[in-house]
Structure 1
Amino acid sequence: MPRRGENIYKRKDGRWEGRTLKQTGKYQYFYSKSYKGVKEKMKNYKESQGNTREKKSGETRGGAVLFEDWLVDVSIRVKPSTYESYYRCMNKYVIPFFEKEKNQKITTGSVSRFVKEMYENEELADSSKKKNLTIFKIAVKEILKGSADCFAIMDLIKYPKPDDKEVEVFSMKEQRQIEQAAFHYTDKRALGILLCFYTGIRLGELCALKWGDIDMETGTLSICRTVSRIRHFEEEEHKTALFVGAPKSRKSMRKIPLPQFLLSMPVLAVFKNRNQENYIFTGTDAPFDPRCFQKLYKRLLKEARVKDRKFHAIRHTFATRALELGVDIKTISELLGHSSVSITLNVYAHSLMEQKKAAIEKFNDMYQLNADVSGAFIKNDYEIMEDSYAG
C-alpha cells in the first residue's frame, strides 16, 4: 500500500498513478495496473536520472546542483504542501546563494556564510528564518550523509531565538461579539467560526470537514484530513490548486468531543439526511477553499466591530480559554493536535504564567482568610520574631 508522501495514488479506472518532479519543475507521470509496478517505474526513472547526471564529463557538482537534485529526490517522499515549502526555500534562498560563486560546494565556509546571510535578512521574521534554516539543514544532512564533514557542517546551522511575543487572542467580550455576528450572519458557513472557537481546529482542517466526520452518537468530531492551496507544478508558474491530504502530523489525526450546544444546533440536527462523503461547507465532493473562508472571516470581524486578527487567533483563543478554565496542558495539547506537549508549553508560555500567578494568588487569599480568623495570634508571632531579631 502507498505510504504517506509517496505521490502514488489509485485512479478511479483501477490503475495506479505515480509522479515525480523533474528538474524543469514539471511532473513526470507513471502508470501501472499495480502499486508495485508504479513504484518500480519511479525507482528506475530516479536511477536513470542519477546516472545521467553522474556521466556528465568534466562537471564539478557544486552546491546549487546538489540542492536541485535533492529537490527532485525528495518530491516523491513528502506531501505536496511540504514539497512546496522546500521548493520555495531552495529556489528563493539556497540555490541562488550557491550559484553566486561558480561551482561553490557545500563546505563549512559556504554553510557559515549562508547561515549568516539568513540571520542578516531584515525582510524575514525570526520564525521564517528558522523555517528556512530547518529546511536547509534537512537538505544538507541528506546530501552529505556518510561524509566526513557532515556533523561538523550540521553543527554550524543554528536557529535564531524565537520571537518573544505573546500569541494574539480575542478577549471574552470580543469572542461574544464574533459569536453573535456569526449566528445572525447571512452566510451560514460563518457558523464554522463557532466550531473553531470551541474545538481549536485549524483553518485547513475546518474546510476539509465532511458530514461523516461528525458522530452524533458519541458527540465527537474526527479530524483526519486538511485542505491547503499550494502551487500547481504542472501548470504555469503562478497557478495554484487545492490539495486535500493528511493533517500536519500523526498527532493531528484526532477525535474532539463537541460541546452540547453545538450538537443541538439545527444545522447538525438534519445532517443524517446529507451525503456523508460530502464536505460540510460546500455540500459537494469538493472542499471549501480556505482562502474564501478567510475572506468570510474578515467580513465577519467587520460586522462584529472587532479588531482584525489572523484566523489562527481563534485557535490561540481556544487554548487560552481552556487554560483559564483549568484544563491541564496535556489535554489541551491533544485537543490541538500538537506533535508534542513541549510545543504547547512553548506557544502558550505567557498564558501559563498568568495561570501560575492566579494560582499563587489563591495562597494569598488563604493567608488573608487565616489572618482574619486568627489575626491576633499571627500578630503576636510576628512581634516575637521581631523582638528576637532586635535582641
Structure 2
Amino acid sequence: MSRKGENIYKRKDGRWEGRYIRDRRSDGSIHYGYVYAYSYNEVKQKLIPLKKEELYVNHSRAIDSPYVLHWVQEWLDKENKRLKLSTYSTYKYKLQRYVLPILGSNRLSELTTQSLQELIDNYQINYHLSASTIRNIFQILQKVLNEAIKKGYIVEDICATVVLPKQTKRRIYALSQSEQRKLEGACRRSSNGLPTLLALYSGLRIGEIAALSWEDIDFENHLLYVNHTYQRIVTASKEQKTTLYLGSTKTETSRRVVPLSKTIISLLRDRKLNHTGKYLFMANGQPMEPRLLNYHFKKIVSQSKIKDIHFHQLRHTFATRCMEASGDIASVSALLGHSSTKTTLDVYVDSVIEQRKKIICKVEEMVNF
C-alpha cells in the first residue's frame, strides 16, 4: 500500500519501490522511472533529487508553452479532420466567443484552477449564461486542455476541482390531449400543417423533419427512416455568419426507424402526388430550412388558439402520448433516438409517474372487485 500522494509502495519481496515521472513519450503519455530500497525513508530520500529534476523539466517545458489562442487554433485544426461539420462549428464558435476573449492572451502554463474558476464565475455574473451552457463550454475547454496536458504544456489537471453551476431540471410541458386536438385541427386547415402533424406522430426533431427525403419513407411497410438532419450552423465568415448544412443525425442512436400511422401515411401519399422534388418539404429547390418550418408552425399555433409553444414540445407531446398508451420505456426510448433508457426516464419522469399511478389504480380495482 502506498503512502498518500508519494507513489511509494511496499513490494511483496519486502523491498520498497518509489515511482517518479522520468519523461514523456512523443504521444504525451508518461514514462515512469523507479527506485528501490529496503526502507521507506531510504526510497523517499532517493526520490527527492529525481522529483526536483522532474519539476525543473516540467517548468522549462511550461515556459515554452504556446499561447491559449494559438493552441486552440491548433487543436481545432486537428479536430476538424474527425468531427462532423456541425460539431466542429459549435466547438469553434463557443471557444472563440466565450474562451479566447478572456484567456487567449495567456500561455497555457499560466492557467490555473483559480483562473478557470474565475472564468466560470464570469460567465454567471457578466454573461448571465445558463448552467447547461456553462457546462457545455467547460466540457469543450476541458478537451482542449487535456490535449495540452498530454503534450506537457500543462503539468497538472487544472480542471478537476473547478466548481460548475448546478443544473436545475426544467420541467418539460407536453400538450394535453384537448390542446393536441385543437392544434391538429389547425394543421388540417393549413397548407403547411403536415410537418407539425408529422412531429406529433413521430417525435422527430425539426432538423430531422427538414432533412426528410421520399427515399426515407417506406409506404408499403408504413416506416420512416431517420438518417439526416438539416440545420443552420455558425461560420467563420464575416460576410455570411451562418450557413445551412445537411448532415448525419445528432448521434448514432438518432439514426432510427419510426413506424407511421395509417393517417400519416395517407397524408404523405397525398403530398407525394401533388409535390415533385427529392425532399418532403422544399423551398427554392432545397430542403425547407428549420427556420421556415418554425415560422409556419407558429402561425398554426396562433390559429389553433392554444398557448404559445415551441416546436420541440411536439416531440415531448409524442413521448407523453406513447407513455399514456402504456408504451414500454425501451420502445419509447428507441422511437425518440435516445442513447439510453435513462435519458428517456430523466426527461419524461412525470409521464412515467402518471403511468405508475394508473397501474396502482388498476391493481386496486382488480383486488376490490
TM-score normalised per structure 1: 0.71
Residue 155 (structure 1) aligns with: 160
Q: Distance in 1 between matches of 2:345 and 2:164?
A: 19
In structure 2, do the counterparts of structure 1 residues 96 and 332 end up closer, same or farther at CA, with 3 Å as the change threshold?
A: same
Note closer, same or farther for the CA distance 1:347–1:159 as it changes in structure 2 (3 Å cut). farther
Displacement of 1:87 after TM fit?
1.6
Q: Which residue of the partner structure matches residue 272 of structure 2?
A: 271
Distance 2:274 2:187 in 1: 24
Matched, 1:215 2:218: yes
**Letter of the aligned partner of 2:257 in structure 1?**
K
Task: Give the superposition deviation at 1:308.
Answer: 1.1
| Aligned-partner residue type, residue 70 of structure 1 | W
Deviation at 1:97, TM superposition (A): 2.1
Q: CA 1:97/1:289 → structure 2, altered by over 3 Å: closer, same or farther? A: same
Deviates more, 1:92-101 or 1:341-350: 92-101
SS at match of 1:242: strand
Amino acid aligned to 1:204: G
* Secondary structure in structure 2 of the residue aligned to 1:144: helix
- Give the structure 2 partner of residue 253 of structure 1: 255
For the structure 1 residues 228 and 328, does the alpha-carbon distance in structure 2 shift closer, same or farther, using more than 3 Å as the test? same
Q: Size of the alignment, in residue pairs?
A: 307
Q: Matches of 1:351 and 1:249 in 2, distance apart?
A: 25
| Range moving further from structure 2, 150-159 or 123-132 | 150-159
Output one character per residue of 1:352-389: Cα deviation in whole Å (capped at 9) or x when no partner.
2222223223334345x25xxxxxxxxxxxxxxxxxxx
Counterpart of 2:266, as a letter, is S
**Structure 1 residue 184: Cα displacement:** 0.9
Structure 1 position 83, deviation (Å): 1.7
State the partner residue of 1:343.
343
Partner of 1:36: none
Q: What is the TM-score normalised by the length of structure 2? A: 0.75
Deviating above 4 A after TM superposition, structure 1's stretches of 4 or more consecutive aligned residues are 100-104, 119-122, 146-151, 272-275
Task: Please say if residues 62 and 105 of structure 1, whose CA atoms lie closer than 8 Å, have aligned partners that are also in contact.
Answer: no
Structure 2: which 5+ runs fail to align?
A: 1-62
CA distance in 2, matches of 1:161, 1:258: 39
**Contact 1:207–1:287, Cα closer than 8 Å, also in 2:** yes
What amino acid is aligned across from residue 315 of structure 1 in structure 2? R
Contact 1:70–1:139 (CA under 8 A) maintained in structure 2? yes
Counterpart position of 1:306: 306
User: How many angstroms apart in 1 are the aligned matches of 2:326 and 2:335?
Assistant: 14
Shift of 1:221: 0.5
- The unaligned stretches of length 5 or more in structure 1 are 1-57, 371-391
Task: Check 1:151–1:175 CA distance in 2 against 1; reply closer, same or farther (3 A cut).
Answer: farther
Pair 1:73 & 2:78 matched: yes
Where does 1:232-381 land on structure 2 (aligned, <5 Å)? 232-233=235-236, 235-265=237-267, 267-269=268-270, 271=272, 278-282=278-282, 286-367=286-367, 369=368
* SS in structure 1 of the partner of residue 338 of structure 2: coil
Shift of 1:135: 1.7
Q: How far is the alpha carbon of 1:290 from its aligned partner?
A: 0.6
1:89 paired residue number: 94
Name 1:20's counterpart in structure 2: none
The more displaced of 201-210 and 71-80 is 71-80
* C-alpha displacement of 1:181: 0.6
Amino acid at match of 2:85: P
CA distance in 1, matches of 2:328, 2:258: 16
Q: Give a deviation string over 1:91-149, Cα, whole Å, max 9, x none.
A: 12111221476776333333333334345556212221222222222222233236496
State the 1:329 CA deviation.
0.9
The Cα of 1:70 is off from its aligned counterpart by 1.7
Is residue 231–residue 245 contact of structure 2 (8 Å, CA) maintained in 1? yes
Distance 1:182 1:88, change over 3 A: same
Q: Match of 2:257, SS?
A: strand
Is the 8 Å Cα contact of residues 89 and 235 (structure 2) preserved in structure 1? no
Contact 1:60-1:103 at 8 Å conserved across structures:
yes
**Is the Cα–Cα contact under 8 Å of residues 169 and 317 in structure 1 kept in the other structure?**
yes
Displacement of 1:192 in angstroms is 1.3
Does the C-alpha gap of structure 1 residues 179 and 162 become closer, same or farther in structure 2, counting only changes over 3 Å? same
Kept in 1, the 8 Å contact 2:108–2:154? The answer is no
Mean Cα deviation higher: 92-101 or 174-183: 92-101
- Distance in 2 (CA, whole Å) between partners of 1:344 and 1:106 is 38
Do the aligned partners of 1:178 and 1:304 also contact (CA within 8 Å) in 2? yes
* Cα distance in structure 1, aligned partners of 2:151 and 2:106: 25
- 2:63 counterpart of 1:64: no
Q: Give the aligned partner of residue 181 of structure 1.
A: 186
1:153 is paired with a residue whose SS is coil
- The 2-side partners of 1:264 and 1:284 are apart by 25
Q: Percent identity?
A: 32
1:306 is paired with a residue whose SS is coil
Which structure 2 residues correspond to residues 160-175 of structure 1 after superposition, within 5 A?
160-175=165-180
Give the partner amino acid of 1:351: S
Distance change in 2, residues 1:363/1:203 (3 Å) = same
| 1:86 aligned counterpart, secondary structure | helix
Deviations 1:248-294 (A, max 9, x none): 000111111101111123x415737976x711111775211110111
Q: Which amino acid aligns with 2:201?
A: Y
1:344 CA drift (Å): 1.1
Which residue is 1:198 aligned to?
201
